Amino acid sequence: MSDGAALTEDAVVHTVLSIDAMGGDLGPTSVVAGLSKAAAKNPQLRFIVHGNRPEIERLIAKKRGLAEICEIRHAEGVVTMDAKPSHVMRNGKDTSMWSTIEAVRAGEASVAVSCGNTGALMAISTIRLRRLEGVNRPAIACLWPSRNPSGFNVMLDVGADIRADAEDLLQYALMGASYARNGLDLPRPRIGLLNVGTEEHKGKAELKVAADLIARAAPAADFEFVGFVEGGDLPSDRVDVIVTDGFTGNIALKTGEGTARMIRERLSEAFKKTPFSRIAALLAYTSLRRLIKRIDPRRVNGGVFLGLNGTVVKSHGSADATGVAAAINLAAQLSATGFHKRLAARIAQSEAAASLAIQKEELPQ
């Protein structure tokens, strides 16, 4: 693919994604393998791949047909997983992560994907893409496996910022509702605020204030507020969107992923333990594969940065080819639906409607 390649070839519209090949624990090997895996299922994908050119060219050359749909942009530097965001902002312009975001900023790609340092990626994305008007703190939203018909709930924030006051939580509710409408096709999503209990008197003072703000904004913003929810509600069909601060959300996310991984490993060990258990595993093979696939955190890999003038998908740092492919597939889906423009318009409308509703309630009668 040549520099500035058109999105249209032979009357076929292609989706161009900007990929940070050097981020993450496993480096470009897993990223390129993920590209190949995703491209095999979606022939309309095209990639701008950022990083060490000789290494990336060598890896891409091993994957049949991948070189023809990739443009490689050399970047000398790499953002390490332990790098401080402030240091990256001062010294990271030559890195693959910076170059990845710049391609989205320039309009050359619709979505950026990186497995790299979350703090640095959020810092670069916020500075280079800028926040949407009216958004104080961007958030990271993830899809959480649930009993809902769609198979998922949305949870945010899961790590963009450990702080969140009542106004921030209201904005998260508005952004989460927009994501659920555009990403899960839910016309009137149900919003829950994560707390230590569902009773109104429980929780910190800012949560009670946030609950009041969200409840007052719900009718104007066209979502249903179900009130406080607990950790056990995360995979339930009681809500569609779970709102929390980044500190709590990230711990919940990592706990859920670790638990799913342990269940998968324990099931595998149990069915290999004796000859009888092996026979039982053969009889239950189809059901077991379905269960393992459903609880595999790699297949729902990818947190979406919300509240920016551009779409960024953050893959897990330890993602293998399956995980990277899942993040790329999510990015492609968001691009195909025009997610960013629809989200920006919905947030602007919701913010205005919610603000007007709250102001009316605060006027003296």
The pairing of beta strand 311-314 with beta strand 303-306:
antiparallel
Same domain, 149 and 274: yes
**Residue 29 reports pLDDT greater than 50:** yes
Tell me: do 35 and 99 sit in the same domain: yes
- Whether 143 and 1 map to the same domain: the answer is no
Residue 145 has pLDDT above 70, yes or no: yes
**pLDDT band at 6; cut points 50, 70, 90:** very low
Q: Which amino acid is at 217?
A: A
89-115 residue pLDDT tens: 999 899 999 999 999 999 999 999 999
Give yes or no: residues 215 and 312 share one domain: no
CB contact at 8 A, 183 and 334:
yes
Looking at the predicted structure, is the pLDDT value of residue 297 above 70? no
**Distance between CA atoms of residues 344 and 175, nearest Å:** 9
**What is the residue whose two structure tokens read 């520099």?**
3
Does one domain contain both 46 and 122? Answer: yes
Kindly state whether residues 122 and 144 are assigned to the same domain: no
Mean pLDDT computed over every residue of the chain: 84
- Pull the structure tokens for residue 338: 């025009």
Q: What is the pLDDT of residue 123?
A: 92
Domain that includes residue 217, residue range: 136-305
Do residues 247 and 270 share a domain?
yes
Neighbours of 150 (CB within 10 A): 15
Mean pLDDT value of segment 194-212: 85
Residue 361 is which amino acid? E
- pLDDT of 5 > 60? The answer is no
Instruction: Say yes or no to pLDDT of 326 above 70.
Output: yes
Report yes or no on 350 lying in a domain.
Answer: no
The domain that contains 210 carries what CATH number? 3.40.718.10
Residue with tokens 């040549």: 2
84 compared with 290, residue with greater pLDDT: 84
- Give me the helix-helix angle, 285-295 and 275-283, nearest 10°: 80
155 and 288 in a common domain = yes
Among 51-65, 176-190, 341-355, the least confident range = 341-355
Residues 214 and 180 in one domain: yes
Mean pLDDT for the stretch of residues 315-338: 88
E strand or H helix at 336: helix 321-336
Assess if residue 359 is contained within a domain: no
Same domain, 91 and 202: no
Residue 147 is assigned to a structural domain of this protein: yes
Residue type, position 120, single letter = A
One domain, residues 54 and 66: yes
| Global pTM exceeds 0.85 | no
In a domain, 347, yes or no: no
Residues 156 and 286 in one domain: yes
Contacts 24+ apart (CB under 8 A), 8-13: 12/44, 13/44
Counted domains in the chain: 2
